[in-house]
Structure 1
Amino acid sequence: MRRNATLGKALKQLREIANVTQEDFGLVSSRTYISTVERGLKSPTLGKIEQLADVLGVHPLTLLTAAYMERLTPKEVDRTTALLRDQLLALVSEK
């Protein structure tokens, strides 16, 4: 599966969980744009991911992480989130 298609699937899943329609993104994107992202025809920029996540009421990393979740078992989710936490804390300590 193409990576942008996986991001689109994650966007649709989070949108449905949040009970948000494609039209609810109207202040940041058109319904047509959201539809093309969900179908894997377009890939949003990081700035757009931030806007989309804001409408969904989630952190942008939640949307990005959800794009990779399909490939992970529950045990791998725990291991991956622990690794991500460690890497982020290492970045903060280097400042």
Structure 2
Amino acid sequence: MSLKLALAAVLRALRAAKGLKQEELADAVSADYLSTLEKGAATPTLDKLHALSRALGVSPTALLALTQSMEANEPPSAILERAHQEILELQQLGLADLLQQQVVAGELIKRPPGKRFDEAKLKNVLTCKAEGLTQTQTAKRLGLSTSTVHDLWRRTPDGD
């Protein structure tokens, strides 16, 4: 089952369980848009998903867990337990500190300018270049697009 269809089923079931009509969720989304969601014909933005969860009286976490439960045909408790374990593992990797570094005074920090690239790909491309391979040969050997090889071809190991 697709996530769109799983969300559609969850929205329908939650609305039915709470005895709500589509029009009663108009503060969150229009009845037309809700109908489209409940047909599985659209995917809501995070903001709309949050507004829908509030209007339905459930947390966004519960709404997503129920949706994943439907999609994977697993109990919501299994979905949440797996998520809990993942969060614990991420915390051990220092995620809390990394998250705090992303926001300053309520604003997302800007990343440094420049195009991001994969260091391992750069090393492999430069190795091929040093071996005398052409960019096309390098792309074939490494399974990369020629445009990626072309971009990395001009870089130095320190990223300049």
Please give the range of the TM-score, normalised by the shorter of the 2 chains.
0.7 to 0.9
Q: Which runs of no fewer than 5 residues in structure 1 stay unpaired?
A: none
Residues 31-89 of structure 1: per-residue CA shift (max 9 Å, x gap): 11101100011110111000000001100011111112233344xx4443222112234
Q: RCO higher in 1 or 2 (8 Å CA, sep ≥ 6)?
A: 1
Partners of 2:37 and 2:43 within 8 A in 1: yes
Q: TM-score, normalised by structure 2?
A: 0.51
| Corresponding residue pairs, total | 93
Q: Matched residues in 1 for 2:91 and 2:19: separation?
A: 34
Distance 1:28 1:2, change over 3 A: same
What amino acid is aligned across from residue 48 of structure 2 in structure 1? Answer: K
In the alignment, which residue of structure 2 is the partner of 1:19? 19
Distance 1:90 1:42, change over 3 A: same
Q: Which runs of no fewer than 5 residues in structure 2 stay unpaired?
A: 97-160
Q: Matched residues in 1 for 2:85 and 2:18: separation?
A: 29
- 2:68 is the counterpart of 1:65: no
What amino acid is aligned across from residue 31 of structure 1 in structure 2? Answer: A
- State how 1:15-94 maps to structure 2 within 5 Å: 15-70=15-70, 71-74=72-75, 77-91=76-90, 94=94
Aligned structure 1 segments of 4 or more residues deviating by more than 4 angstroms: 90-93
Q: TM-score, normalised by structure 1?
A: 0.81
Distance 1:92 1:48, change over 3 A: farther
Distance 1:44 1:73, change over 3 A: closer
RMSD, aligned CA: 1.9
Q: Matched residues in 2 for 1:52 and 1:66: separation?
A: 14
